Structure 1
């Protein structure tokens, strides 16, 4: 019975991470082929996925869904998390994809552990350790190879994509550290669902979901938008959260690293994005850094939960 439960957890987290990665590639296709704006896709994605996650939460425990708003501190925290955490991560990630590609954007976002290390050291929450230095060296080496493909002549993606990708990693670091208390007290589905809706409302002020010309869209366009919203966001988050019931957080983190692999594979095979040998090696170094750190997490780092994209 225990083995069966673990297999359920493995399947859920693998599917969730894979959907996250493919969702980024599908978003890239929408930006390139259908001229959909980052602002519109982020707003509609967050609003619909957030509502669906809250519906799931309501089915499980209807009293818990609105309870978070009865706590004054929680109200402030969830708004901050929704705008500076969820929305910031989503927008910077999508902007990096649009200006570059999903593979590089996803890997740059995976530099978040390095920013977490730097914050914890600068804030004197923890001291700089040998394993931290190793992680930083792996991250910097991998990023250099990823962005240059071993050549100093130019970057593999525009500098604007790199900047947004790095901002995405910083946003994810904040998201991970800030979410801990909220998630423990109010539940993952509630917190993530409300954060998505708040982030979606925030982006809707800039780009209302209904303000877009869809006259040139094909059935394929609608299918891809639906995939990004349902599979690349709602299902991915739900499966990842559910997998935590069957697996240890360390195991879900390890398997969650399949996300950038899915983004790389689909970008290269489906969108024919060039990805050189040095870039593959650089990507491997970044992924190894994530796996390496997952085995040596400090207590302070465990307070956050990796739930993004």
Structure 2
């Protein structure tokens, strides 16, 4: 199987899991779970789950060089941990669709950075994919009667922060994958992120007073909305450029809309269906790049 095809399927797995998880998070917020508590529990459980798995089955992946620790700390705290908080906080302040749309402004940021600072070519296929995915995301949010961006100032700011941090860990994360295994990278990123968030929200505050049902939701989010999708994302990033990775990941709002329709019975209106079709067309376009546009 071609590396680009492997990368594509890893990203489909990641975005599918993320597409489901936003609804789960919103359920917890509707039960008055504090976003700060949720992000602390999420990243701490994710670290412990991944640590246990690697310690039992792949202990060699626990080892890193001392010179890599600063890189992993920056990526974990400034990228993944901050992104998780800002995204969840945006959901708590707005709605899932708005949070997803704001976060997926990131591919535009990644593309601009790659063009301006890395010399990556921005040919017609990439530009077309960028326009289709951004426009499709907007139509998914804004295409229902009475719909639209549910934005207040805190939600807007945190949503933009989630876009910037997603762009950051996509670009900066690519840097270390030439020498670090994706699962090793993820473990240490979760570890540094958990360390910081447990200082801001001590475990004796964040982890008490929750019901058994809420803890089942927390475990689901840790495994199926964090460890696996982030792992798949970094595995996909290992095979693809940051620009192609970012554009392909915009499948998440399509998955989220489809799950809401199938599971919750939420209707899809014509403009929203058009938005889904535009994103799919954009993702297909980016997978059919001419060879000279694929890399820097």
Given the alignment of the two structures, is residue 230 of structure 1 paired with residue 230 of structure 2, yes or no?
no
The 3 A distance-change label for structure 1 pair 77 and 28 is same
Given the alignment of the two structures, is residue 49 of structure 1 paired with residue 31 of structure 2, yes or no?
no
Aligned to 2:253: 260
The 3 A distance-change label for structure 1 pair 63 and 264 is same
The 3 A distance-change label for structure 1 pair 139 and 20 is closer
Q: Deviations over 1:210-251 (max 9, x none)?
A: 304854x44322221221112222244456677899xx7699
Which runs of 5 or more structure 2 residues have no equivalent in the other structure? none
Instruction: Give the whole-Å Cα distance in 1 for the aligned partners of 2:161 and 2:236.
Output: 28
The 3 A distance-change label for structure 1 pair 292 and 14 is closer
Aligned to 2:273: 280
TM-score by length of 2: 0.78
TM-score by length of 1: 0.75
The 3 A distance-change label for structure 1 pair 52 and 92 is same
Given the alignment of the two structures, is residue 221 of structure 1 paired with residue 219 of structure 2, yes or no?
no
1:65 to 39, 62, 66: 62
2:111 to 92, 101, 117: 117
Aligned to 1:307: none
Aligned to 2:295: 299
CA RMSD of aligned residues (A): 3.7
| Alignment size in residue pairs | 286
Deviation at 1:22, TM superposition (A): 1.7
The 3 A distance-change label for structure 1 pair 253 and 88 is closer
Deviation at 1:162, TM superposition (A): 4.7
Which runs of 5 or more structure 1 residues have no equivalent in the other structure? 301-309
